Amino acid sequence: MAFEYAPAPESRSIVDIQPAYGLFINGEFVDSVDGQSFKTINPASEEVLADIVDAGPTDVDRAVAAARHAYERVWGRMPGAQRAKYLYRIARIIAERSRELAVLESIDNGKPIRESRDVDIPLVSAHFFYYAGWADKLDHAGFGPHPKPIGVAGQVIPWNFPLLMLAWKIAPALACGNTVVLKPAETTPLTALAFAEICQQADLPPGVVNIITGAGDTGRDLVNHRDVDKVAFTGSTEVGRAIAKSVAGTDKRVTLELGGKAANIIFDDAPIDQAVEGIVNGIFFNQGHVCCAGSRLLVQESIQDEVLTSLKRRMARLRVGDPLDKNTDIGAINSAAQLARIRELSEIGSAEGADAWSPPCDLPQRGFWFAPTIFTGVSQAHRIAREEIFGPVLSILTFRTPAEAVEKANNTPYGLSAGVWTEKGSRILAIADKLRAGVVWANTFNKFDPTSPFGGYKESGYGREGGRQGLEAYLAH
Amino acid sequence: MGRLNDMTVTATSLSEITRSDAALRTFLHGLPGVDAVGADARAAMLSTRSIKTTAKAYAIDLAIRMVDLTTLEGADTPGKVRALCAKAQRPDPTAPDCPAVAAVCVYPSMVATAAEELAGSGVHIASVATAFPSGQAPLSVKLDDTKAAVAAGADEIDMVINRGAFLSGRYMEVYDEIVAIKEACGSAHLKVILETGELGTYDNVRRASWIGMLGGGDFIKTSTGKVQPAATLPVTLIMLEAVRDMMELTGRQVGVKPAGGIRTSKDAIRYLVMVNETVGDRWLDPDWFRFGASTLLNDLLMQRSKMATGRYAGPDYVTLD
């Protein structure tokens, strides 16, 4: 008799989703002046969750004006030790409300509760704690004797880690004395709006954090606003390129964290069982909606059969389904549009001659779902080896020598992350040194920590988030 | 050289591995390494599985059926062992549908008493042997210890490996000893205790697992229960991966027994989840997975009765032994 896990759903009753949300400007939820509205849905069921404002140019203007006012009058001149108190308070409230935030994130995003509970929300809280600690020590951060804030930051974040990306943007900005206007992604606004409530709960001075919801046009209005001093964006390389163009010739400062096509390199002396876990975690974590996902597996030819057998066996154990079930490993694809993109690229992969394989799995009828998939027989020339799929799809390539591994790993316009698996310490150092990627993981993958800087080479963007280095983007020096 | 996929699946090639000290060493050191951080992380992740309602009821009954109900004290007496045997057959006298445990595990001197009590019950009689727990005795003594236990009625022998020889790299000596004990067991099943708490690294756990399997062990077992740490989830994971690889390589199934330190139903269920997601259904059976434990059974019984009645009866409602 098989050991079938009974459903173990996390309760939804802890979250209170309102039928409609306004914009969070100057410390209050306000109605839009010139915006439209759209609906945010649960991607696992297509259930409508709430009406969200698609903010117009006047709304953006009001938010930036509130941020400017708060910067000039309150936050920009407040001693760092005082700012730290607010940030510590926010960090603590996030930790206290972590279960609620995790459930809300899983409902709006589709990611498994195990990940939102064990990865996303703890990192969000940790990020605020970490940057709270820097607020009164900026003079000693290595950016000059008395570094100053920049002013008003316009921040646009993606839908894959909604609250975590908010934390990466807001925590260092506030610690350095800047005020912010942040736009969450249109498919995942709910945790950002919950964060607005947390700012109220923490008595953060009005205007220091402003949250405006909307789609691409709202983001464009924010980035192009003349009174924004600093632009921070995480998202696609295409949009990043447009932002870089639009701010060219202005005195705005910009940091961009864009796409990736990371190589996960498995040498023949790797710890195979753990490497297989690393492959799974590299590409199937968060349904593969990870800019630094290990979407290209480079496995040494001499062990490819062994690795492939183990990987398939492991994939057959992945539990795909209800994101709120505590035993779910892979949840829903975030949107119909993203699902269409994943399907399109997968079909191209098959058409180009690569072999697709997925474990047998029952996908729910409603909602957006894609079975975890691997492609073998992939070459560097295939589109699935070059383009970011941003889904649970792994392209498997082989190499024969360390030099070939490095060459193939670097043969991409991207350079966000990479992984190296070997039991040989000297090889880890030698290979990591040659990989052109912002983050190189050794014998692990997709590990994040607020103390560690994160960012890209080449078309994966510029600037660093996290760590001491993450302060630089928010300091004038 | 020495990697699993390089070997052909024949008895001959297995005997090639153990033809000399050098060949055995080459094989063991050629096994894929274990990344300790990664192994710990995998075990921790599996511990987050939430096993509720029907799944929990299934797991609790399965865990009861897998218990090797153990008493290994200098103070053991025939009276204590008889009480244990009664409990092994009817763990919960108030619930006739409660299954019996897999075996009773005692010292060789207590085997005859246990055999008398358990005759015809289907509950196995396991005896520790080979100068348990340290194993620090001449081979002849270990063999006599084993033979005496089998002669007294034990149908399962839990031996300890020679950790001194293992840690000083004398792998062949460890192997030869297991082969000799296996022979002394006759038809009795052999469980090979690795005493992972003394092996120091997960790489060593993997190597010792292979020696235990190559030497003819029907089970590999984590610990004596006399050394800390005893059974842990990561160590059990490494051993499950070893029996999985053995099965793939040779088609021979070897069982796994974590022992020591498993006290609660929650612990036991975590192990069963790990079995389920590492080696699957084939090992979810008392013939292939056991818990070496003394206090675990009572917690399983309390959880079982709570699931049936909705109330916690408390420790006064389960028998001490």
- ipTM of the complex, rounded to two decimals: 0.95
Asked if A3 and B32 come within 8 Å (Cβ–Cβ), the reply is no
- b or e along A312-326 (b: 16 or more beta carbons within 10 Å of the residue's beta carbon)? eebbeebbbbbbbbb
Our measurement of the distance from residue B263's CA atom to the centroid of its chain's CA atoms, rounded to an integer in Å, reads: 15
Q: Does the beta-carbon distance from A444 to B37 stay under 8 Å?
A: yes
Distance, CA of B231 to CA of A86 (rounded, Å):
46
Of B33, B50, B58, the CB nearest to A3: B58
- Coil vs helix vs strand at A141: coil
In whole angstroms, give the CA distance from residue B179 to residue A193: 67
A257 is catalytic: yes
Mean local confidence (pLDDT), A243-261:
96
CB neighbour list of residue A238: distance below 8 Å, 6 or more residues apart:
none
B48 and A444 in contact by Cβ < 8 A?
no
Tokens 């920590």, residue located: A449
DSSP B128: E
CATH of the domain at B98: 3.20.20.70
Q: Name the catalytic one among B92, B145, B155, B158.
A: B158
pLDDT at B13: 80
Quick one: pLDDT at residue A197? 98
Distance CA A149, CA A179 (A): 9
What pLDDT is recorded for position B317? 86
Mutate to test the interface with A, among B40, B50, B209 (most CBs of A within 10 A): B50
| Residue B4 counted as domain residue | no
Residues of chain B contacting A8 with CB distance shorter than 8 Å: 50-52
Total Cβ atoms within 10 A of residue A392: 28
Closest C-alpha among B101, B126, B66, B103 to residue B275: B66
B5 inside 8 A of chain A by CB:
yes
Residue range(s) of every CATH 3.40.309.10 domain in chain A: 263-442
Task: Provide the pLDDT for residue B12.
Answer: 66
Are B220 and B248 in contact by the 8 Å Cβ rule? The answer is no
Position B180: which residue type?
A
Judging contacts by C-beta atoms under 8 Å, the chain B residues touching residue A306 are 3-5
Structural domains in chain B (count): 1
Domain that holds residue B139: 65-307
Kindly report, residue by residue over A274-333, the tens digit of the pLDDT. Answer: 999 999 999 999 999 999 999 999 999 999 999 999 999 999 999 999 999 999 999 999
Predicted pLDDT at B209: 98
How high is the mean pLDDT of chain A?
97
Residue B205 has, within 13 A of its CA and on its CB side, a CA count of 30
Residues of chain A with Cβ-Cβ distance to B59 below 8 Å are 3
Closest chain B residue to A421, measured at CA: B35
CATH 3.40.605.10 in chain A: give the residue spans: 23-258+457-476
A284 token code pair: 């199937």
**Is the minimum CB–CB distance between B30 and chain A shorter than 8 Å?**
no
Residue B24 is assigned to a structural domain of this protein = no
Query: What pLDDT does residue B10 have?
Result: 56
Instruction: Report how far residue A168's alpha carbon sits from residue A157's, in angstroms, rounded to the nearest whole number.
Output: 10
pLDDT at B316: 87
State which fold the A23-258+457-476 domain adopts.
Answer: Aldehyde Dehydrogenase; Chain A, domain 1 (3.40.605)
pLDDT tops 90 at residue A477? no
Residue range A338-357, pLDDT digits in tens:
999 999 999 999 999 999 99
Q: Which residues of chain B have pLDDT under 70?
A: 1-12
**Token pair of A225 as six digits:** 């606003």
The overall pTM is greater than 0.90: yes
Work out the percent of chain A whose per-residue pLDDT is above 70.
100
Distance of CA B221 to the CA centre of its chain: 3
Tell me, yes or no, whether B18 lies in a domain: no
CATH 3.40.309.10 fits A263-442, yes or no: yes
The reply to whether B20 falls in a domain is no
Q: Smallest Cα–Cα separation from B195: which of B233, B156, B235, B246?
A: B235
Q: What is the pLDDT of residue B232?
A: 98
Nearest one of A380, A296, A391, A385 to A343, comparing CA atoms: A391
Chain A positions touching B50 (Cβ under 8 A) are: 5, 8, 326-327
